[in-house]
């Protein structure tokens, strides 16, 4: 039951991030920038004025990078609060999976394979699983 609750907290955290990112993070503008970049690349390939197009591309890429970094403003506090909530509500929680998962940069090596996780580990695994579910859902929706 605790595993399900932690998964729900991770899913809610992910949905909150998605909402804030769409509402305030400029994701719509990022899609527009990508379309503009594709059009500019087509113009450059066709041989139209390259200097003007290259300057526009530079400005659009700069704006794109700024928008991408804006998402960190939302994700870092959401993850911090989510981890704090699950470690506070479920301090003795452990889950043992029937398979091992590679955890990078743990135990002094590049990868450590683990099958047992506490509330923090299960929260991050749940975020990952929910993210995959969202990607599959969004691609099926198109």
The whole-number pLDDT of residue 94 equals: 95
H helix intervals, 1-142: 2-24, 27-46, 50-89, 119-141
Helix, strand, coil shares of the chain, percent, nearest 5, are 75, 10, 15
The chain-wide mean pLDDT, for the chain, equals 87
Contacts with 62 (C-beta within 8 Å, 6 or more apart), sequence order? none
Compute the average pLDDT of residues 3-18. 93
The whole-number pLDDT of residue 126 equals: 94
Q: How confident is the model at residue 34 (pLDDT cuts 50, 70, 90)?
A: confident
The whole-number pLDDT of residue 96 equals: 95
Angle at 131 between CA 38 and CA 61, to 5 degrees: 25
CB 21 within 8 A of CB 27: yes
Maximum C-alpha span of the chain: 65
Compute the average pLDDT of residues 111-120. 91
Could you identify the residue written with the tokens 């394979």? 113
The whole-number pLDDT of residue 49 equals: 67
pLDDT digits (tens, 9 = 90+) for 53-96: 778 888 888 888 888 787 788 889 999 999 999 999 999 999 99
* Helix (H) or strand (E) segment spanning residue 63: helix 50-89
Q: Which residue did the predictor score with more confidence, 89 or 109?
A: 89
């Amino acid at each position: 039951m605790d595993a399900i609750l932690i998964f729900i907290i991770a899913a809610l955290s992910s949905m909150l991030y998605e909402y804030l990112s769409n509402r305030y993070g400029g994701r719509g503008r990022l899609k527009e920038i990508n379309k503009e970049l594709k059009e500019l690349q087509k113009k450059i390939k066709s041989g139209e004025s390259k200097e003007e197009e290259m300057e526009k591309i530079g400005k659009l890429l700069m704006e794109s990078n700024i928008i991408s970094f804006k998402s960190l403003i939302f994700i870092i506090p959401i993850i911090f609060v989510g981890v704090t909530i699950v470690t506070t509500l479920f301090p003795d929680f452990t889950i043992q999976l029937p398979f091992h998962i590679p955890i990078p940069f743990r135990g002094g090596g590049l990868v450590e394979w683990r099958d047992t996780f506490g509330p923090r580990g299960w929260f991050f695994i749940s975020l990952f699983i929910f993210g995959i579910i969202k990607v599959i859902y969004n691609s099926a929706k198109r």
